[in-house]
Structures are given as structure tokens and as C-alpha cells.
Amino acid sequence: MKLRNEDRELQIKLAELQADIQIYLTICFAFLAGFLAIMIGFEQIYFSLPPEEIISKTYIGILIPIVGSVCFVSVLFFARKAFHARKQMDELRKKYVW
């Protein structure tokens, strides 16, 4: 009976971690898609402005790398959370299998 309970605990914990990984990766790719769309929009505005709009081009030229860096940091954050949950899954498997 004890073995069945441990198996159930393992299955529940693994399912929770798998759900967490799926959520983190979904959020990661959603942020990536959103930030890339915003960045492409800024680039379209930047290249469509006439050369006389120097101030507007400067502001948008500054925003493009800022959005890119925020995109990189947020994607890295959620990817690291997903990899950490994956490590926890491996540790659980080792704990219950060995």
C-alpha cells in the first residue's frame, strides 16, 4: 500500500511540474511574440518617418534596443524557470526511482 501512495505522490508532483513547465514556456513564447511585434512596429514607424522628423526618429531609435533588451530579459527569466522545473522533475525521478 505504501508503494502505491509513493507512486501516486510521484505522479502528482510530476504532473504539477509538467504543468508549470508548459505554463512557463507558453508565457515565454507569448512575451517573445508580443515584444517582436512591438519591435517590428517601432521599426516600421522609424523607417516610414521622413528625415525631417529627427526628434521622433531619435526617440523611436532609443526605444527599439530597450524593447529588445526587455524581450531578452523576460524570455530568459521564464526559460530559466522552465529549466529549473525540469531539474526538479529529474531530482524527483532520482529520489523515487533509486
What's residue 55's pLDDT?
A: 80
Q: Give the model confidence (pLDDT) of 41-97 as tens digits.
A: 888 888 888 878 778 778 888 888 888 888 888 888 888 888 888 888 888 878 776
Q: What is the pLDDT of residue 44?
A: 86
* Domain definitions of the chain by residue range: 2-97
Whether 1 has a pLDDT exceeding 60, the answer reads no
Which tens digit of pLDDT belongs to each residue from 10-38? 888 888 888 888 888 888 888 888 888 98
In the prediction, which pLDDT does 2 show? 62
Q: How far from chain centre, in Å, is Cα 14?
A: 21
Which H, E and C letters describe 71-97, residue by residue?
HHHHHHHHHHHHHHHHHHHHHHHHHHH
What pTM does this model have? 0.68
